[in-house]
Protein backbone atom coordinates (compact mmCIF):
# COMPACT_ATOMS: atom_id res chain seq x y z
CA UNK A 1 0.00 0.00 0.00
CA UNK A 2 1.12 3.52 -0.70
CA UNK A 3 2.11 5.72 2.22
CA UNK A 4 2.75 9.45 2.36
CA UNK A 5 4.93 10.96 5.07
CA UNK A 6 5.12 14.60 6.09
CA UNK A 7 7.80 14.80 8.76
CA UNK A 8 7.17 18.41 9.81
CA UNK A 9 3.99 18.71 11.90
CA UNK A 10 4.45 22.48 12.19
CA UNK A 11 6.53 25.15 10.49
CA UNK A 12 6.72 28.91 10.55
CA UNK A 13 8.04 31.50 8.11
CA UNK A 14 8.49 35.24 8.13
CA UNK A 15 6.32 37.18 5.75
CA UNK A 16 8.03 37.65 2.36
CA UNK A 17 10.49 34.82 3.07
CA UNK A 18 10.69 31.36 1.48
CA UNK A 19 9.73 28.10 3.13
CA UNK A 20 9.93 24.47 2.02
CA UNK A 21 7.56 21.75 3.19
CA UNK A 22 8.75 18.19 2.81
CA UNK A 23 6.88 15.09 1.68
CA UNK A 24 8.07 11.57 0.98
CA UNK A 25 6.05 8.66 -0.28
CA UNK A 26 6.38 4.97 -0.80
CA UNK A 27 5.09 3.23 -3.90
CA UNK A 28 5.94 0.42 -6.26
CA UNK A 29 4.28 2.15 -9.20
CA UNK A 30 6.15 3.96 -11.92
CA UNK A 31 3.33 6.26 -12.96
CA UNK A 32 1.29 8.27 -10.46
CA UNK A 33 0.17 11.76 -9.49
CA UNK A 34 1.17 13.92 -6.56
CA UNK A 35 -0.67 16.88 -5.13
CA UNK A 36 -0.29 19.56 -2.49
CA UNK A 37 -3.51 20.73 -0.90
CA UNK A 38 -3.94 23.75 1.38
CA UNK A 39 -6.60 23.82 4.11
CA UNK A 40 -7.00 27.21 5.77
CA UNK A 41 -9.21 27.77 8.83
CA UNK A 42 -12.13 28.19 6.40
CA UNK A 43 -11.83 24.37 6.08
CA UNK A 44 -11.97 24.10 2.31
CA UNK A 45 -9.24 21.92 0.79
CA UNK A 46 -7.68 23.91 -2.05
CA UNK A 47 -5.48 22.34 -4.71
CA UNK A 48 -2.15 24.19 -4.72
CA UNK A 49 -0.11 22.26 -7.25
CA UNK A 50 -0.05 18.96 -9.12
CA UNK A 51 2.79 16.83 -10.48
CA UNK A 52 2.63 13.92 -12.90
CA UNK A 53 5.33 11.37 -12.15
CA UNK A 54 6.25 10.75 -15.77
CA UNK A 55 7.09 14.44 -16.23
CA UNK A 56 10.58 15.29 -15.08
CA UNK A 57 9.95 19.02 -15.09
CA UNK A 58 8.96 20.38 -11.69
CA UNK A 59 5.53 21.96 -11.54
CA UNK A 60 5.19 25.67 -10.78
CA UNK A 61 2.16 27.77 -9.95
CA UNK A 62 3.03 31.42 -9.31
CA UNK A 63 4.77 31.53 -5.89
CA UNK A 64 4.43 27.77 -5.40
CA UNK A 65 6.84 25.27 -6.86
CA UNK A 66 7.80 21.69 -6.18
CA UNK A 67 11.04 19.77 -6.07
CA UNK A 68 10.11 16.34 -7.38
CA UNK A 69 12.79 13.70 -6.93
CA UNK A 70 11.31 10.49 -8.33
CA UNK A 71 14.17 8.19 -7.44
CA UNK A 72 14.20 9.47 -3.87
CA UNK A 73 10.38 9.46 -3.75
CA UNK A 74 10.40 13.01 -2.51
CA UNK A 75 7.95 15.79 -3.34
CA UNK A 76 8.65 19.04 -1.47
CA UNK A 77 6.70 22.27 -1.78
CA UNK A 78 8.45 25.64 -1.88
CA UNK A 79 6.49 28.78 -1.12
CA UNK A 80 8.25 31.98 -2.15
CA UNK A 81 7.46 35.49 -0.91
CA UNK A 82 5.23 34.05 1.83
CA UNK A 83 2.04 35.95 2.55
CA UNK A 84 -0.25 36.00 5.57
CA UNK A 85 -2.88 34.22 3.51
CA UNK A 86 -0.55 31.25 3.08
CA UNK A 87 -1.07 30.29 6.72
CA UNK A 88 -2.87 26.95 6.63
CA UNK A 89 -2.53 23.20 6.98
CA UNK A 90 -0.78 21.73 3.95
CA UNK A 91 -1.41 18.14 2.91
CA UNK A 92 0.66 16.15 0.46
CA UNK A 93 -1.38 13.54 -1.43
CA UNK A 94 -0.68 10.60 -3.73
CA UNK A 95 -2.87 9.09 -6.40
CA UNK A 96 -1.90 5.98 -8.34
CA UNK A 97 -2.40 5.59 -12.06
CA UNK A 98 -4.04 2.18 -11.94
CA UNK A 99 -7.53 1.78 -13.37
CA UNK A 100 -10.61 0.51 -11.61
CA UNK A 101 -12.23 1.54 -8.38
CA UNK A 102 -8.93 1.99 -6.57
CA UNK A 103 -7.87 4.74 -8.93
CA UNK A 104 -10.22 7.13 -7.18
CA UNK A 105 -8.36 6.99 -3.91
CA UNK A 106 -6.11 9.76 -2.67
CA UNK A 107 -3.61 8.91 0.03
CA UNK A 108 -2.90 11.90 2.26
CA UNK A 109 0.02 12.68 4.52
CA UNK A 110 -0.71 13.82 8.06
CA UNK A 111 -0.21 17.47 7.17
CA UNK A 112 2.08 20.37 8.04
CA UNK A 113 0.67 23.40 9.81
CA UNK A 114 2.28 26.53 8.38
CA UNK A 115 2.27 29.78 10.32
CA UNK A 116 3.27 33.08 8.69
CA UNK A 117 4.78 35.67 10.99
CA UNK A 118 4.14 39.32 10.08
Partner 1 sequence: DTEVTQTPKHLVMGMTNKKSLKCEQHMGHRAMYWYKQKAKKPPELMFVYSYEKLSINESVPSRFSPECPNSSLLNLHLHALQPEDSALYLCASSQGAGRYGYTFGSGTRLTVV
Distance CA 65, CA 58 (A): 7
Does residue number 55 form part of the binding site for partner 1 (CB under 8 A)?
A: no
Q: Is 62 in the site for partner 1 (CB under 8 A)?
A: no
| Given 1, 71, 72, 101, the residue binding partner 1 (CB under 8 A) | 101
For the chain, the residue count is 118
- Exactly one of 1, 62, 85, 104 binds partner 1 (CB under 8 A); which one? 104
Residue with smaller CB distance to partner 1, 14 or 97: 97
Judged by CB under 8 A, which of 63, 73, 78, 95 binds partner 1?
A: 95
User: What's the rounded Cα separation, in Å, for the pair 99 and 62?
Assistant: 32
Task: Decide if residue 78 touches partner 1 (CB under 8 A).
Answer: no
At residue 26, φ and ψ (nearest 5 deg) are: -125, 125
In the DSSP assignment, the letter for residue 9 is S
Total residues at interface with partner 1 (CB under 8 A): 24
Q: Which of 2, 11, 80, 106 is in the footprint of partner 1 by CB under 8 A? A: 106
**Whole-Å CA distances, 50 to 9, 61, 77:** 21, 9, 11
- Local structure of residue 104 (DSSP, 8 states): G
Q: 3 has which bridge partners?
A: 26
Footprint on this chain of partner 1 (rule: CB under 8 A)? 33, 35, 37, 42-47, 50, 52, 91, 95, 97, 99, 101, 103-106, 108-111
Amino acid sequence: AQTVTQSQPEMSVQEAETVTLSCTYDTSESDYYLFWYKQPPSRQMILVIRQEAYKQQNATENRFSVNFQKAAKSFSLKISDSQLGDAAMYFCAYRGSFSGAGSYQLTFGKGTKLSVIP
